[in-house]
Structure 1
Amino acid sequence: MPQFAILIYADESLHATDAPATDLEKNDQHARDLSSTGTMSLAYALTPRAQAVSIRRDGTAAGPFVQADQFVAGFYVVDAPDLDAAIAIARQNPAVRTSTGGVEVRPVHSGGIIA
């Protein structure tokens, strides 16, 4: 079955090392729902952008690669029969219901977990 990456955009990651469980509950419930149906094959939440290190030809710098109001706060991969089905799944992400966040759906071209 085709795979689709769902990139979560937000103005900041909820997954700070000291984030209370109540701040994460809607996202965690969404992940549990997808896992229970076997739709989601992997998911990663990223730490706040202040913890990023950018690497370019001329060196490294603290902070995200691109300065923007929203950034990728996490991503997950779903198995869906087609793009329309993947979009329907992505619409359920809590970030879609915020005033500053949203998601992007992209078909996965190739790759996978390498053991």
Structure 2
Amino acid sequence: MAKYLILIYGSEQEWDAQTPAELDVKGAGHAAFRAAVGDGYRLGAELESVTTATTLRATGSDAPAVTDGPFMETKEALGGFYLVDAPDLDAAVAAARLLPELREQHGAIEVRPIVDHG
């Protein structure tokens, strides 16, 4: 089994505007995703707002520059992630298709294999 990181992107403004009922539906969608992944589920979390981010940037010296805010100003924000085991990329993508953010106009999912140095 290979490990994949599934990154969930979308608009924080849209997420913040969701009603409790919409959030309940989304929570059920995430529960269904975790159930479908089964034993391949390793870790998952929703992230705090990008306004809470701290970014360290290389400066060419020993001390990086530390700034408040995200690495890049973008329309879409990284809102959460899952770490899963899957037999191959096709299986990881099939699982990612279950995520409720893909039913939102602003949602996007990125699936990335994790390098195995072992």
- TM-score, length basis structure 1: 0.78
Gaps of 5+ in 2: none
1:62-77 superposed matches below 5 A: 62-77=68-83
Query: Residue in 2 aligned with 1:105?
Result: 111
Query: Residue in 2 aligned with 1:82?
Result: 88
Q: Note the C-alpha offset of 1:34.
A: 3.8
| Distance in structure 2 (CA, Å) of the matches to 1:101 and 1:34 | 16
Query: Residue in 2 aligned with 1:45?
Result: 46
Structure richer in helix, relative to its length: 2
Query: Residue in 2 aligned with 1:24?
Result: 23
Aligned amino acid, residue 28 of structure 2: Q
Q: Note the C-alpha offset of 1:67.
A: 0.6
RMSD, aligned CA: 2.4
Gaps of 5+ in 1: none
- TM-score, length basis structure 2: 0.76
Q: 5-14 vs 62-71, which deviates more?
A: 5-14
| Distance in structure 1 (CA, Å) of the matches to 2:48 and 2:2 | 28
Q: Note the C-alpha offset of 1:39.
A: 2.9
**1:51, 1:62 within 8 Å by CA — same for their partners in 2?**
yes
- Does residue 93 of structure 1 match 2:105? no
Question: For 1:96, what is the secondary structure of its paired residue?
Answer: helix
Q: Note the C-alpha offset of 1:10.
A: 0.8
**2:8, 2:108 within 8 Å by CA — same for their partners in 1?**
yes
Which portions of structure 1, spanning 4 or more consecutive aligned residues, are displaced by more than 4 angstroms? Answer: 19-23
Question: For 1:30, what is the secondary structure of its paired residue?
Answer: helix
Pair 1:25–1:11, CA change in 2 (3 A) = same
Query: Residue in 2 aligned with 1:2?
Result: 2
Aligned amino acid, residue 77 of structure 1: L
| Distance in structure 2 (CA, Å) of the matches to 1:46 and 1:71 | 10
What count of residue pairs does the alignment treat as equivalent? 108
